[in-house]
């Protein structure tokens, strides 16, 4: 059983949803990113997504896109992504990498899988990788026993949902709405429907991402999903903090609020 599967199993045993947090590597700098991730783990995150900064983040809203731009300008490399994964794994929390496919393809899928395993990572979330083009990653993830997490959108027809969920390991990423990432004032009304359609095809946990930013919203999503994914709200806390210490404290405080939310369902 992977560390991701174990985290979701533990959450289910406690009758709650798992909390999945996202942070980009190298933002606002390498050491603050590590400290923020460790604070997130200590405060109740079950799984942490480490964002691999990429120059063309098509799905990302302005908050994450700006953070990624600043991380790249600061010299963040793939090695820094693995360093952050390693720090999280050493702390006893499941870590996955969220990345567009181009950097993995350029690095070499098998080499990337090998180095991710060596860092203690559990798998990849690949938002722009389609089932039709996924064979190199399927082969590499099989060879290195890594989870592979694909996205199901509100627009995905049943046959597409079946194809996507059939390739997943760890959990299935349920996209709550069509559009780019970013915190919203309310959870999309389509989110529960996406989760229900995923469950028609797999027994894997379904975690909802895009739009959650508060404990109250986390509680709402935890009422129908196996996991709650939060990204932009964390990145905004990092971006608006006055000092690195403030940034770490802000991430910790938000994690506490969200962790209480997923436990109130």
Query: HEC profile for 84-135?
Result: HHHHHHHCCCEEEEECCHHHHHHHCHHHHHHHHHHHCCCEEECCCCCHHHCH
Given the residues 9, 14, 56, 60, select the one marked as catalytic.
Answer: 60
Residue 49 a catalytic site member:
yes
Whole-number Å distance between alpha carbons of 152 and 194: 7
Whether residue 221 is preceded by a cis peptide bond, meaning omega within 30 degrees of 0, is no
60 catalytically annotated:
yes
Place of tokens 């979330």: 125
Q: Which of 9, 14, 49, 110 is catalytic?
A: 49
Answer yes or no: are the C-beta atoms of 78 and 107 closer than 8 Å: yes
Q: Is 247 helix (H, G, I), strand (E, B) or coil?
A: helix
3-state secondary structure of 144: helix
Share in percent of the chain as helix, strand, coil (round to 5)? 50, 15, 35
The residues annotated as belonging to the active site are 49, 60
């Amino acid at each position: 059983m992977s560390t991701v599967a174990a985290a979701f199993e533990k959450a289910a045993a406690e009758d709650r949803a798992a909390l999945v947090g996202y942070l980009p590597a190298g933002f606002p700098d390498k050491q603050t990113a590590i400290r923020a991730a460790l604070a997130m783990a200590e405060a109740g995150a079950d799984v942490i997504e480490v964002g691999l900064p990429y120059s063309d983040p098509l799905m990302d809203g302005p908050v994450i896109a700006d953070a990624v731009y600043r991380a790249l300008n600061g010299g963040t490399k793939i090695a820094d992504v693995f360093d952050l994964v390693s720090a999280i794994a050493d702390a006893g929390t499941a870590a996955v990498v969220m990345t567009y496919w181009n950097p993995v393809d350029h690095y070499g899928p098998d080499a990337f899988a090998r180095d991710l395993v060596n860092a203690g990572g559990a798998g990849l979330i690949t938002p722009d990788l389609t089932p039709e083009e996924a064979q190199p990653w399927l082969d590499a993830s099989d060879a290195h026993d890594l989870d592979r997490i694909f996205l199901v959108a509100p627009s995905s027809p049943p046959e597409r949902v079946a194809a996507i969920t059939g390739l997943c390991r760890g959990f299935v990423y349920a996209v709550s709405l069509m559009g780019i990432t970013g915190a919203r004032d309310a959870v999309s009304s389509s989110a529960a429907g996406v989760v229900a359609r995923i469950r028609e095809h797999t027994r894997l946990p379904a975690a909802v991402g895009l739009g959650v930013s508060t404990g109250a919203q986390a509680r709402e999503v935890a009422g129908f999903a196996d996991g709650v994914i939060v990204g932009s709200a964390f990145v905004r806390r990092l971006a608006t903090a006055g000092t690195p210490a403030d940034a770490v404290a802000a991430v910790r405080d938000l994690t506490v609020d969200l962790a209480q939310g997923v436990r109130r369902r």
